[in-house]
Chain A
Amino acid sequence: KQEVTQIPAALSVPEGENLVLNCSFTDSAIYNLQWFRQDPGKGLTSLLLIQSSQREQTSGRLNASLDKSSGRSTLYIAASQPGDSATYLCAVPLDDKIIFGKGTRLHILP
């Protein structure tokens, strides 16, 4: 059974700081992992998709890494801004399903 855990559940940091969000999964036989952001009252927006053959993906100030052997992924956000405040979720495939973590609620303090 695949379980996805995200730590911390919530995080508040001052604007401008770099930060790391963590995602762990129990079944390392995944072929990719995706990070999403969810704004209050909205659906999810895909941020980065990392294939199992990749170790990193970058988009602007975001960098996601994947270590299948240890069952971990991290999302690094550089020079955080108030607009980064949202809930960040990671997700992995399991057969036809996509299993989501419960997310990290991020609050960037102006």
Chain B
Amino acid sequence: GAGVSQSPSNKVTEKGKDVELRCDPISGHTALYWYRQRLGQGLEFLIYFQGNSAPDKSGLPSDRFSAERTGESVSTLTIQRTQQEDSAVYLCASSLEAWPEKLFFGSGTQLSVL
């Protein structure tokens, strides 16, 4: 596609449920990032994928969070047993190679945990 695509754009879930967020990077982009942005806050790094290398998971806040990426294509971010503090916008970005290439962001998934 022309840009980074994220789905769903909005997700409302009940506390304790699992959710899965999807990111389709720009075709050919080897680097993919997930960020979390709480209301009125900055971007919080979650995880980074680069090609076939082991991902950098150092930003995942707890073991309830996990992410996968199939080759250099789609990535999914899974949050198990959601909590209210997980409510945020989850942003995905990709770049042709690792930084210092320009980053291209998706529009994000607004997650609301009731």
Q: List residues of chain A with CB under 8 Å of any chain B CB.
A: 31-32, 34, 36, 41-46, 49, 51, 89, 91, 93, 95-103
Complex contact B42–A43 (CB within 8 A)? no
> What 0/1 readout, one digit per residue, does chain B (11-44) give for beta carbons within 8 Å of chain A?
0000000000000000000000101000001110
Chain B interface extent, by class: 20 to 34
Q: B4 contacts which chain A residues (CB < 8 A)?
A: 43
Complex contact B91–A97 (CB within 8 A)? no
Q: B105 contacts which chain A residues (CB < 8 A)?
A: 36, 43-45
Contact of A98 (CB < 8 Å), options: B41, B45, B104, B108: B45
Cα–Cα, bound, A91→B91 (Å)? 15
Complex contact B102–A49 (CB within 8 A)? yes
Nearest CB on A from B42, distance (A): 4
- Would you call B65 an interface residue if the criterion is a C-beta within 8 Å of the partner chain's C-beta atoms? no
Contact of B59 (CB < 8 Å), options: A31, A97, A102, A103: A97
The listed residue with most A CB atoms (<10 A of its CB), out of B35, B42, B105, is: B42
Complex contact A101–B48 (CB within 8 A)? no
Complex contact A31–B56 (CB within 8 A)? no
For B48, give the chain A residue with the smallest CB separation: A96
Cα–Cα, bound, A51→B43 (Å)? 22
Cα–Cα, bound, A46→B99 (Å)? 13
Cα–Cα, bound, A108→B88 (Å)? 27
Nearest CB on A from B17, distance (A): 24
Complex contact B100–A49 (CB within 8 A)? yes
Complex contact A97–B56 (CB within 8 A)? yes
Contact of B100 (CB < 8 Å), options: A43, A51, A96: A51
Complex contact A96–B50 (CB within 8 A)? yes
- Would you call B60 an interface residue if the criterion is a C-beta within 8 Å of the partner chain's C-beta atoms? no
Q: B41 contacts which chain A residues (CB < 8 A)?
A: 102
Cα–Cα, bound, A95→B69 (Å)? 20
Cα–Cα, bound, A102→B33 (Å)? 18
Q: List 5 A-B contacts (CB under 8 A).
A: A89-B42, A89-B43, A98-B99, A100-B43, A102-B42
